[in-house]
């Protein structure tokens, strides 16, 4: 289906690929992995032929259809999410204009009219619309939302509409660049179940380990300009890679020992007449050895003993009789909730159910119409959100900000921590005023970790991180002795961290006194999402 042969590509004087090969077969589900900057998105551009290689070929079977979901979508106007999912969009408006002009001119017998009518009917075929609605529903849309103009929707919802369109088309090869970024947990479970049975090939870039474990059977790793193929899901790839590294280290050590023994014998006996012939023989053996390169140490998650916060009271935050509404839309009516010290609580529920609203109420970020919010004793609260940047000094550098947050931190440790959160080399000297939204988000995460509050409220903390950074954050939070309340769509992250689940839907908060798997077992949520796929 897809063959990349002897591919070479450079970007800004840096070689991304050098003589690299890759084959993707029909129906194969593949993960593309590698550190940030390795060239994953560039490879997608080469496959789509929106960019060209410096050398080598990208070959597709003539009949192969491609579908591509980028990380960010286009701006839209009056077309609805349903229009986007059906593929109507601007094309439908153009066809309507053609039909109207012929009708007004009385030229409905013109061949152009019939052609436009046929295309219009195809776009509005009942089967297409029914399929589009199924995809939209699975990805979390209500009928009310899918009939709203796209310009009224957030970028995340527009991306879901585009994803729905790709699933309606069912291309032979789906290219998905971080497809879970704009999904909540419920829609992610549905999407994961859908892809597991998808007949076409899939090539995925993702930072979601659990998602890749469920979907892929092959992993291609970009490593020093080559594409290394590994059979199995992502966790299997990690195990195989570690075993391969250990074998390479062992082979290197054995060869070094052999070389050392040969050199020692040669040095000792080259000038001894009775052993000279043997020394020459050993020299020939030494000359014939094909020297192994010393295996590069794999990038490891940076482990730092972050300072622990002061101990809070047992009852951390208490909500009593909370009423919260946005206009006529009621979110919570008479909500009672208590957060206790040491809990790691995840908020789970469909988009729009009120997860972010609840975490903002807990943080004291928004007012509510009625009820009380009581804080426990000795409480220091920290609130992290992708949509809220803590105050950063514009003229300070990234490194300065971290050192300011924790003056006792050694600079080498600060640089190492920042490196594990994707601020590498000269990035630490960037001034805060030039940082992107994602960079500001990561910097604020680091500041929380080096000077942690004893109540940490986090809304989607993994969005701008790669897999290694997520692992570093996870390990830090597992060692954190304070109280954690968080929202995430990363199942692996949730599974490792959560000790309690609050399921939120239709204004009701249902507690589950266990982790993520306990919640799935008791709530039946995974089975419910899977049922939508089979409808």
pLDDT for 531? 47
The string of DSSP codes covering 284-307 is: HHHHH--PPPPPPPPP------PP
pLDDT band for 369, please (50, 70, 90 cuts).
very high
Nearest to 311 by CA among 338, 340, 339, 341: 341
d(CA 209, CA 192) in angstroms, rounded, equals: 12
pLDDT for 508? 92
Classify 22 as helix, strand or coil.
strand
| Average pLDDT estimate for 232-236 | 95
| Average pLDDT estimate for 23-36 | 93
Give every strand in the sheet of 66-69, ordered side by side: 66-69, 173-177, 201-205, 29-33, 218-223, 226-231
More confident residue, 254 or 36: 254
Burial of residue 411, with CB atoms counted within 10 A of its CB: 0-12 exposed, 13-18 middle, 19 or more buried: exposed
Report field, pTM of the whole predicted structure over 0.85: no
Cβ atoms of 501 and 519 within 8 Å: the answer is yes
Give me the chain's average pLDDT, please.
88
d(CA 2, CA 62) in angstroms, rounded, equals: 10
Mean pLDDT check: name the lowest of 13-22, 105-114, 525-534: 525-534
pLDDT for 390? 62
pLDDT for 532? 47
Cβ atoms of 514 and 500 within 8 Å: the answer is yes
pLDDT for 506? 86
Nearest to 502 by CA among 339, 319, 366: 339
How far is C-alpha 284 from the geometric centre of its chain's CA atoms?
53
Cβ atoms of 345 and 339 within 8 Å: the answer is yes
Kindly compute the dihedral angle of the four CA atoms of residues 187, 193, 195, 197, in this order, to the nearest 10 degrees: -150
How do residues 279-338 score in pLDDT, each as one tens digit? 999 999 999 999 999 998 877 666 666 788 999 999 999 999 999 998 888 899 999 999
More confident residue, 506 or 526: 506
How far is C-alpha 192 from the geometric centre of its chain's CA atoms?
13
Classify 218 as helix, strand or coil.
strand
For 367-470, list the strands marked E by DSSP: 370-375, 381-385, 455-459
Per-residue CA distances from 181 to 36, 72, 157 (Å): 16, 10, 11
Per-residue CA distances from 65 to 51, 70, 167, 169, 342 (Å): 18, 17, 13, 9, 51
pLDDT band for 402, please (50, 70, 90 cuts).
very high
Residue 341 phi, psi (nearest 5): -55, 135
pLDDT at 167 over 70: yes
pLDDT band for 388, please (50, 70, 90 cuts).
low
Cβ atoms of 221 and 227 within 8 Å: the answer is yes
pLDDT band for 529, please (50, 70, 90 cuts).
low
Encoded tokens for 125:
């075929």
Encoded tokens for 457:
């409220």
Residues near 89 by Cβ (< 8 Å), separated by ≥ 6? 76, 79, 83
Burial of residue 456, with CB atoms counted within 10 A of its CB: 0-12 exposed, 13-18 middle, 19 or more buried: buried
Give the single-character DSSP code of 392.
-
| Average pLDDT estimate for 72-90 | 77
pLDDT for 300? 66
Q: What percent of the chain has pLDDT over 70?
A: 93
Residue 89 phi, psi (nearest 5): 50, -135
pLDDT band for 273, please (50, 70, 90 cuts).
confident
| Average pLDDT estimate for 113-121 | 77
pLDDT band for 213, please (50, 70, 90 cuts).
very high
Residues near 138 by Cβ (< 8 Å), separated by ≥ 6? 187, 190, 191, 194, 529, 532, 533
For helices 89-105 and 111-123, angle between their N-to-C axes, nearest 10 degrees: 140
Classify 99 as helix, strand or coil.
helix
d(CA 493, CA 471) in angstroms, rounded, equals: 8
- Helix then strand count (H, E) for the chain reads 19, 18
pLDDT for 119? 72
pLDDT for 75? 56
Residue 434 phi, psi (nearest 5): -105, 5
Classify 166 as helix, strand or coil.
helix
How do residues 421-458 score in pLDDT, each as one tens digit? 888 888 899 998 888 877 888 888 888 888 889 999 99
> How does strand 315-326 pair with strand 370-375?
antiparallel
pLDDT for 408? 87
pLDDT for 96? 78
Cβ atoms of 313 and 377 within 8 Å: the answer is yes
Classify 451 as helix, strand or coil.
coil
């Amino acid at each position: 289906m897809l063959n990349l042969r002897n591919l070479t590509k450079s970007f800004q004087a840096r070689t991304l690929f050098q003589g690299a090969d890759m084959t993707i077969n029909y129906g194969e589900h593949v993960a593309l992995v590698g550190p940030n900057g390795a060239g994953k998105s560039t490879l997608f551009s080469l496959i789509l032929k929106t960019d060209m290689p410096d050398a080598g070929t990208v070959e597709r079977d003539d009949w192969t259809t491609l579908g591509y979901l980028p990380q960010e979508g286009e701006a839209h106007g009056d077309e609805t999410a349903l229009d986007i999912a059906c593929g109507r969009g601007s094309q439908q408006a153009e066809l309507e204009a053609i039909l109207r002009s012929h009708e007004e001119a009385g030229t409905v017998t013109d061949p152009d009219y019939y052609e436009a009518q046929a295309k219009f009917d195809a776009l509005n075929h009942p089967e297409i619309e029914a399929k589009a609605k199924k995809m939209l529903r699975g990805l979390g849309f209500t009928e009310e939302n899918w009939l709203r103009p796209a310009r009224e929707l957030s970028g995340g919802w527009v991306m879901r509409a585009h994803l729905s369109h790709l699933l309606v088309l069912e291309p032979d090869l789906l290219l998905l660049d971080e497809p879970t970024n704009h999904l909540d947990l419920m829609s992610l479970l549905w999407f994961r179940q859908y892809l597991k049975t998808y007949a076409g090939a899939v090539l995925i870039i993702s930072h979601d380990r659990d998602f890749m474990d469920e979907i892929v059977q092959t992993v291609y790793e970009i490593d020093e300009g080559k594409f290394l193929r590994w059979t199995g899901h992502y966790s299997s790839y990690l195990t195989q890679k570690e075993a391969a590294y250990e074998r390479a280290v062992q082979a290197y050590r054995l060869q070094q020992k052999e070389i050392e023994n040969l050199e020692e014998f040669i040095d000792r006996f080259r000038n001894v007449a009775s052993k000279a012939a043997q020394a020459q023989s050993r020299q020939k053996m030494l000359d014939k050895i094909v020297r192994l390169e010393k295996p590069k140490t794999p990038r490891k998650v940076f482990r730092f003993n972050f300072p622990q916060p002061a101990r809070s009271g047992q009852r951390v935050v208490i909500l009593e009789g909370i009423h919260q509404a946005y206009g006529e839309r009621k979110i919570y009516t008479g909500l009672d909730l208590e957060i206790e010290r040491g809990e790691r609580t995840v908020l789970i529920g469909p988009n729009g159910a009120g997860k972010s609203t609840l975490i903002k109420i807990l943080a004291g970020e928004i007012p509510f119409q009625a009820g009380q919010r009581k804080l426990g004793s000795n409480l220091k609260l920290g609130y992290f959100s992708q949509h809220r940047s803590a105050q950063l000094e514009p003229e300070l550098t990234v490194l300065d900000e971290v050192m300011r947050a924790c003056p006792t931190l050694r600079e080498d440790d600060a640089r190492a921590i920042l490196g594990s959160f994707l601020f590498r080399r000269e990035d630490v000297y960037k001034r805060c005023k030039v940082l992107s939204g994602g960079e500001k988000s990561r910097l604020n995460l680091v500041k929380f970790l080096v000077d942690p509050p004893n109540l940490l409220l986090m809304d989607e903390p993994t969005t701008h991180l790669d897999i290694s950074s997520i692992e570093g954050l996870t390990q830090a939070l597992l060692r954190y002795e304070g109280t954690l309340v968080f929202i995430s769509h990363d199942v692996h992250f949730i599974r490792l961290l959560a000790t309690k689940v609050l399921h939120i839907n239709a204004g009701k908060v249902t507690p589950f006194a266990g982790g993520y798997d306990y919640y799935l077992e008791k709530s039946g949520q995974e089975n419910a999402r899977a049922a939508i796929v089979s409808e």
